[in-house]
Structure 1
């Protein structure tokens, strides 16, 4: 370790002096250990401040990017913005009992305002693009996600195995989501009340052995249930305690899968979108295994100077050219539209950029909670 402080220099001198006088390896090693501890402790606050500033700047850049191109945001991008916005808002609740940095809070307050204005400005364009889809998923876009944060760290994951089934029926999944949100229209043309579900939906969303976007969509179903307070309704299909157990089970498996995507230093470009979706959905629920410093530093590297997230792979560019409305399928399996991409300015991707904003905002909240 290289010491750059006067304290480290003094202790280096002491080590040499003591070793000459006593000539014992034991004393020399003990003094060296003290030196290493002092150097490490002195540099920890500096590293924390550096990471906090990087996170704030990255979240600001992402918010400013979406604000500059709100007419081209798709529903996927709005979902990411609303999830991230909810995390930023809840930082202020967390800081009611903490002595948080006021300058950081001022920047976060500005970001939340930008996101709110951006989402409102984007709504008319989303409705014009696909009014039926807009009406069906409006409850997920109209307000930030404010979910209860219950910190939890998984232990003993050796026996947890990722699934392999990536099949997903888009229309069935959309119908199940709509039943929870209260936007499902029956055969008579009437809207069913929210928090309506069926055994078929419940079986679909709890089916075991799933992987990739299939299992994250299963988790998202239960997040929507919590977001719409369906777990609090008397006589509901699932209680808050049962919901938490389901979320925990799914996120254990998702974490093991995320570990397989991480190669020790980075994530393959084609898996970055999935990797961030895994971290966002489980992170906002308080599963802190996903809040790893090495992981968030990788995500920070993926962000471009414009503040967005891109994909430059040739096959994706080719599919952008041949698919209508600039959509790019990010999986070979049929998925709902949360799984589709739309190009924004500068070849930025709406879904991936929305996830990037959500991921960084989620880690920012975790970082502030654990630092103050």
Structure 2
């Protein structure tokens, strides 16, 4: 089905301005193709680094490479469905295909090492590494002014520990301490994982949780709990989380991307981008992400995030430790496992959205030519 001029125009406006009206610079097909080339090269460097380190990365990193694999696989499927409507040459399509295959291969190779290095963690969350678990195909969509009526501004501090989120995810997977059946969602976990007002990693993990619940087919259980609490459908919950996440991403941008917020910023784009929300993607933000990449290795470095820096809200925890967050791991030459893999995930989303933008611009030009 051909895209209407209304939607082409709307997408051009959205892609060229953020909610606060900042003017961006992606104006034509030539510039979009240039930006796509930069993104593909940056993603290639990240994946090649992770491929070299496949026997050292942790489970969280492979979730990221599986997300890259799934994102590019779905994109290639749509391209092949109607090649004539995509303004892509054969070399670009092959580049995307090569990166998808690299993400798939390195994920497959890494799993035995992840299982061996942390068997307990793998037994609980290893399902998330299954091939095609992350082949998400949510339609691209925008935020509208009414979507922000249910959103909230970011608040300092975290509302939950990593372990809290993990325990609730195991209920979905059927790998928890008290159940071996999937989708056995406790009221306590549902309430915790859908509470309004979270920010930071607690907020992104809410989106992550609902993504997993959707992939596991837990629709009946989700609807039962949300009905009891008078909540909207899960899709509307995700919309509220991602609208609030976008406001927080804007705050990170306005504060000039503090070092310790960059990992979170890329995780925000990766997760909400996977759910179809394209407002996280702009040339300015993309060029920032690429600028953080180590040019010699392809990885992402920086300060390791500790639990004392990702502080719990004072009402939740009075004492904070200096233990490095579990999901992060320092690799060769100070490269960071989680930061590199969320960068790769975010970059794969940029590949998707720039490619979709190119398709819309191509169809617009075709319409004008036909007219």
TM-score, normalising length from structure 2?
Answer: 0.77
Asked if the contact 1:330/1:341 (under 8 Å) is kept, the reply is no
Aligned to 2:141: 152
Gaps in structure 1 of 5+ consecutive residues: 1-40, 320-327
Q: Shift of the alpha carbon at 1:330?
A: 5.9
Tell which deviates more after alignment, 230-239 or 85-94.
230-239
Q: Give the alignment of 1:89-104 within 5 angstroms.
A: 89-95=73-79, 96-97=81-82, 98-99=85-86, 100-104=88-92
* In 1, Cα distance between equivalents of 2:308 and 2:128: 21
Q: Shift of the alpha carbon at 1:91?
A: 1.0
Instruction: Compare the two structures and name the one with the higher helix fraction.
Output: 1
The answer to whether the aligner puts 1:287 opposite 2:277 as a matched pair is yes
- How many residues are aligned here? 314
* In 2, Cα distance between equivalents of 1:261 and 1:238: 31
Aligned to 2:346: 359
* Structure number with larger C-alpha Rg: 1
Distance verdict in 2 for CA 1:289–1:339, change over 3 Å: farther
SS state of the match for residue 72, structure 1?
A: coil
Distance verdict in 2 for CA 1:94–1:50, change over 3 Å: same
Cα distance per residue 1:177-230 (max 9 Å; x no partner): 0010121232xxxx4211110111111011121111111111111011112222
Q: Give the alignment of 1:9-20 within 5 angstroms.
A: none
Of 235, 239, 248, which aligns to 1:244? 235
CA RMSD of aligned residues (A): 2.8
* In 1, Cα distance between equivalents of 2:245 and 2:39: 24
Aligned to 2:298: 307
* In 1, Cα distance between equivalents of 2:234 and 2:180: 22
The answer to whether the aligner puts 1:76 opposite 2:63 as a matched pair is no
SS state of the match for residue 328, structure 2?
A: strand
Distance verdict in 2 for CA 1:152–1:262, change over 3 Å: same
Aligned to 1:193: 181
Asked if the contact 2:223/2:233 (under 8 Å) is kept, the reply is no
Gaps in structure 2 of 5+ consecutive residues: 1-24, 313-319, 360-371
Q: Give the alignment of 1:1-372 within 5 angstroms.
A: 44-95=28-79, 96-97=81-82, 98-99=85-86, 100-144=88-132, 145-156=134-145, 160-164=151-155, 166-186=158-178, 191-231=179-219, 237=225, 242-263=233-254, 266-305=256-295, 306-311=297-302, 313=303, 316=304, 331-333=310-312, 340-372=327-359
SS state of the match for residue 28, structure 2?
A: helix
Distance verdict in 2 for CA 1:111–1:330, change over 3 Å: farther
Asked if the contact 1:76/1:338 (under 8 Å) is kept, the reply is no
* In 1, Cα distance between equivalents of 2:272 and 2:251: 16
Asked if the contact 1:329/1:339 (under 8 Å) is kept, the reply is no
* In 1, Cα distance between equivalents of 2:262 and 2:221: 37
* In 2, Cα distance between equivalents of 1:268 and 1:259: 12
Distance verdict in 2 for CA 1:337–1:142, change over 3 Å: farther
* In 2, Cα distance between equivalents of 1:250 and 1:139: 24
Q: Shift of the alpha carbon at 1:143?
A: 2.2
Q: Shift of the alpha carbon at 1:329?
A: 7.2
